[in-house]
Structure 1
Amino acid sequence: MSMFKNLSYLAIILLIFSSCSNNATENPSRIQKRDQILSLITPPSLSANLIDLQHFGALGDSLTDNKPAFDKALEKCKALGGGRIIVPPGIYLINGPIHLISNVTLDLQKGAKLVFGSNPEHYLPAVLTSWEGTFLYNYSPFIYAYQADNVAIIGEGVIDGNSKDTFSTWHAKQKPSQTRSRKMNHEDTPIEERVFGEGHYLRPHLVQFFECKNILIEDVTLSNSPFWCVHILKSENVTARRVKFDAFNKNNDGFDPEYSKNILIEDIDFNNADDNVAIKAGRDHEGRKTGITSENIIIRNCRFKGLHGVVIGSEMSAGVQNVFVENCTFGGYCKRGIYLKSNPDRGGFIRDIYVNNVEFDEVEDGFFITSYYHGEGSGYETDIRNIFVDSLRCNKVRNAALVIQGYPTKKVSDIHFSNIQIDTAKTAISFTNAENIVFNNLIIGDEVKVPSHAQ
């Protein structure tokens, strides 16, 4: 079936029986593949060296600059070969970034709150980072780990980017530098010449792990971010659990894994003004050149709330594969539930995506694939195939329940829908440039039961 369109408020029951095991409710090959990935993900061991931040002059009075105390504590950790920096209850102003190093744990105890200062000069000199899929030098992320192993951020404290009235306002001014960065990407400008920072308005990330291994982020609350909340860049073996988000500024994505692999995101309470999880793999020329696939990512037992639940793209030019979204529900409204997006500037692929037992309440669109995001691009179509959606439920869909928008020269293919139930939708199904779409137990609208008979 290549196209269903504008089936408003109709109940659809399509039973297409296939011998292919991928349509089974419990797919042994999927479970085996997922469990093999889980076996590769192990949280780091935490250092036994306890470092009390207050021993280095820290004061949680919301007024004292605690940047010097953090720097001294990190020097102590370096001398000891690792350490666990304990941040007691209090409000800690920090005028500048925290640069984590290997074998260091930042332990924010319950009642502890880090509040980052709002002077951009404090986040210079510029550091190597990535901004919307392009490598460049920019203001330092507020918490930044570069080429570090065994790094953790734990505890029931809060990390507050304090950016609503400061860095967040840069969104309106970023266009010239955003355009310049993309031009440098397309022209393969040497990275050392891509210097932004002062005089530009590219907002820094709240937390970034760059070329790191063995990462844990657990129990903390992240709020008021200047840009993306947690950027996992060219990193591997990452565990994120029981994190909470209250992030409502522009582009406040929750987790953004990019060029990264072997990641477990579980038991998260999302509340973001943007994507809850956005899986990326570089933009356009640079992404294709870098060629590091984002893969082996498991998202489970989460509560979605915000713009979109789980997104792949749109910066995904190196490819994304082996993503599992399982046993998740909603904490509130999402514009779209599951959203796969690319355009013909990207290239790359999206494949082997598994969505199992996921529920949304009210959304604009339930499940959406587009190969023509923003209606732009040419020359590098994305290959999107092998997507398996089993037990997806939505209570109310304002616009479209299931959407596939392939590209005329690169159709979306091999998409399997099983056990889909959507109570109401303005448009049930809208598929264009799609092929080999398989349905097994699909109900959109009221289920049709025993047929009526003549009196």
Structure 2
Amino acid sequence: MQTEQVPTHLTFSLTSPPAAQTADSIALLWDKPASYGVERYEVYVNNSLAATTKNTDYTLQGLAPEHEYFIYVLTYMSTEEPLQSNTICIITRPQPQVFDIAAYGAVGDGETLNTSAIQSAIDACSQGGLVTIPEGVFLTGAIYLKSDMTLYLEEGAVLLGSPDTEDYPLLESRWEGLQRTCYASLVNTQDTQGGRLSNITITGPGKIDANGSALRKKELSEVAGKPGSAICIRNTDNVYIHGVTVRQSPFWCVHIVYCNGVSVNGVGIHTKYDEEGNLYEGIVNGDGLDPDSCSDVYIFNCHIASQDDGIAIKSGRNAEGRAVGIPTENVRISNCRFTSGFGVAMGSEMSGGVRNVLVEDCEFHNVFSIASVKAIRGRGNVIENITYRDCTFTNQNLELQDTQWFRGALYVDQFYGDLIFDPHETQPKNEETPVIRNILFQNITLDKVAGNAIYLTGLVESPLENIRLENITAVGKHGFIANNIRGLVLDHVTVNAREGEAMRFVNVN
């Protein structure tokens, strides 16, 4: 149950995604006030101060099951009186019944194959129940979660993917935007046969290791199906992934497809290096987290170190994606840290549409880009209403230079993947012509030693529309390149190039 009492002086909104409410925790998110200069936020529970933070999220933990909590947040700013959010009332979930996989025969020695034992615990799990992975290394093939359950990995628990392809049945799933035959992922949802699942949680301090270096090589060599992911959740309403570390996937690490009400909170994702900095061999297409034709998505307080895009927002490819017609929309990404890979991307598979995305208060260190907005000819549909704001970026890494895949720290690119192209050559406009519009980059500082600082290039027949940059300080090897834009606004933008000219604009107004 959740009700709201709105004060007359309300200037910012507090919410708790329903998926992110458990028997003993409640995740909170709130908007920044209209005026900045925030010194701190104070979280109050039942009129008592519970926490102080500088972030716009907080997770209350150690709560009582089936207990009612009234919560609000105060914002303290340097020059004004504190501002109060709305008050929300939340009742925590009941205490879950526990199903320990060890009771079903699982052995955490890193050698015994535990697929059957783990699946038996999941199948036996009662509605609202909790399947626990205790301390130990539990080798397993593909497992399948169901509605109204929690998979909990205790401290010291590792769910380790089997290196044998025979432990991952072939199934039909979306892969790079198209329906393909794929190997099952390590953690999957059950086949819904046209229906939908609901209320699935994966949580705890443990780790999910898909053993991708070994498994990807075998999956590719057999040519029977496309590689799977570490986690693939499909056709589910209310998904919560909290606290776990997910690593070494054969393909995209965490793939969320056709889901509504998704919260990812405090998760570590490692697809290029492990937590100690050791390189995973042979990992390609190692995206961190991909919401794919999903709505109402909250990603916060996460650390993502990816081999490819850190977060990639997708919705299908070309005619098939347009026919399915399910956009990814209403996405908030906040208070996240990115330490390898390519930042937060929209596309390139976006044929169902992408809209209403906020990326806020994120740090990017030795990542090649903050923003990758990409939609090439053939995709069709629209990317619109995208905001990146209050982000910092530093990259002193020379490992990656500009290529046809990545052309700047902030880039919007409708020639993504083209090595040789003429940005001023026009083609007929039709249903395959994508549209990119209403993009805001605000309050961003970036400094990189390789590649363009900013690259914005649309199509002659479909120029980028309404692109606005405010309070941007950018330094790159090269400066700011812009082509084919209708409605470019620069407000307090400073760009410095270590080599060549700072700005080069063609067909921009």
Give TM-score, length-normalised by structure 1.
0.80
Residue aligned with 2:326, SS: coil
1:153-164, aligned counterparts within 5 Å? 153-164=202-213
Give 1:440's match in structure 2, choosing from 491, 500, 506: 491
What does residue 246 of structure 1 align with? 270
Q: How many Å apart are 1:168 and its aligned residue?
A: 4.2
Cα shift readout 1:1-48 (whole Å, capped 9, x = no counterpart) = xxxxxxxxxxxxxxxxxxxxxxxxxxxxxx97xx59x56654254561
- Give the count of matched residue pairs: 382
Q: For residue 477 of structure 2, what is the aligned residue in structure 1?
A: 426
1:81 CA displacement: 2.4
**1:69 aligned residue:** 117
The answer to whether the 8 A contact 1:296-1:321 is kept is yes
CA distance in 1, matches of 2:224, 2:101: 34
Residue in structure 2 matched with residue 325 of structure 1 by the alignment? 359
Please give the per-residue CA displacement for 1:216-253, whole angstroms capped at 9, x wherever unaligned.
10111111111111111000101101111221221111
Q: 1:47-446 counterparts in 2 under 5 A?
A: 48-77=96-125, 80-94=126-140, 96-124=141-169, 126-146=170-190, 147-168=196-217, 170=219, 199-248=223-272, 249-330=283-364, 332-362=365-395, 365-375=408-418, 380-422=432-474, 424-445=475-496
CA contact (8 A) 1:141 1:205 kept: yes
CA gap of 1:442–1:397, structure 2 versus 1, over 3 A, is farther
Describe the superposition over 1:370-420 as per-residue Cα deviations: whole angstroms up to 9, x where unpaired: 112223898512110101111111122522111111001000010110000
Asked if 1 retains the 8 angstrom alpha-carbon contact of 2:270 and 2:288, the reply is no
Q: Greater relative contact order (Cα 8 A, min sep 6): structure 1 or 2? A: 1
Q: Which amino acid aligns with 1:55?
A: A
User: Aligned equivalents of 1:353 and 1:86: distance in 2?
Assistant: 39
- Structure 1 residues 267 and 168, CA, compared in 2 at 3 Å: closer, same or farther? farther
Describe the superposition over 1:279-329 as per-residue Cα deviations: whole angstroms up to 9, x where unpaired. 001000011111111000100000012221100010000110000000001
List per-residue Cα deviations over 1:39-72 (Å, max 9, x = no partner).
Answer: 6654254561111111111111111111121121
Which is richer in helix?
1
Q: What SS class does the counterpart of residue 443 from structure 1 fall into?
A: strand
**CA offset digits 1:64-116 (Å, max 9, x no partner):** 11112112101211xx224101111111111x211000111110011000111
Q: Kindly, what percent of the aligned residue pairs are identical?
A: 30
Deviation of residue 335 (structure 1)?
1.6
Q: Cα gap change, 1:351/1:408 in structure 2, threshold over 3 Å: closer, same or farther?
A: same
Cα shift readout 1:173-213 (whole Å, capped 9, x = no counterpart): 6xxxxxxxxxxxxxxxxxxxxxxxx7424101111111101
Q: Specify the SS of the correspondent of 1:205.
A: coil
Answer whether contact 1:280 1:320 (CA < 8 A) is retained.
Answer: yes
Q: Alignment partner of 2:361: what SS?
A: strand
| Structure 1: gaps (5+ residues) | 1-30, 174-197, 447-455
Q: Which amino acid aligns with 2:138?
A: Y
Q: Which amino acid aligns with 2:318?
A: D
CA-to-aligned-CA distance 1:315-348 (integer Å, 9 cap, x gap): 0001100000000012x31122211011101001
Q: Is the 8 A contact 2:152 2:204 kept in 1?
A: yes
CA distance in 2, matches of 1:52, 1:39: 29
Aligned to 1:16: none
CA distance in 1, matches of 2:446, 2:343: 13
Give distance in 2, aligned partners of 1:134 and 1:300.
29
Q: Which runs of 5+ in 2 are unaligned?
A: 1-10, 24-94, 191-195, 273-282, 402-407, 422-426, 498-509
Q: Are the aligned partners of 1:115 and 1:160 in contact in 2 as well (CA < 8 Å)?
A: yes
Letter aligned with residue 201 of structure 2: A
Q: Superposition RMSD on alpha carbons, in Å?
A: 2.1
Query: Separation in 2 of the partners of 1:385 and 1:316?
Result: 14
Looking at structure 1, the residues matched to 111 and 346 of structure 2 have their Cα atoms a distance apart, in angstroms, of 41
- The 1:397/1:367 distance shift into structure 2, 3 A limit, reads farther
Deviation at 1:169, TM superposition (A): 6.1
CA, structure 1 residues 316+41, in 2 after alignment: closer, same or farther (shift >3 Å)? Answer: farther
SS of residue in 1 equivalent to 2:118: helix
Residue pair 2:19, 2:199 contacting (<8 A) in 1 also: no
**Conservation of the 8 A alpha-carbon contact between 1:209 and 1:231:** yes
Which deviates further from its counterpart, 112-121 or 130-139? 130-139
Distance 1:139 1:400 in 2: 38
What is the CA distance between 1:445 and its match in structure 2?
2.9
CA contact (8 A) 1:44 1:214 kept: no
CA drift of 1:426 comes to: 2.8
Q: 2:460–2:484: 8 Å Cα contact kept in structure 1?
A: yes
Q: TM-score, normalised by structure 2?
A: 0.72
Residue identity in the other structure for 2:409: G
Counterpart amino acid of residue 350 in structure 1: I
Query: Aligned partners of 1:61 and 1:39: how far apart in 2?
Result: 39
CA contact (8 A) 1:44 1:215 kept: no
Hey, what's the Cα distance between the residues in 2 that align with 1:66 and 1:394?
Answer: 47
CA distance in 2, matches of 1:396, 1:107: 40
Matched residue SS, 1:398: coil
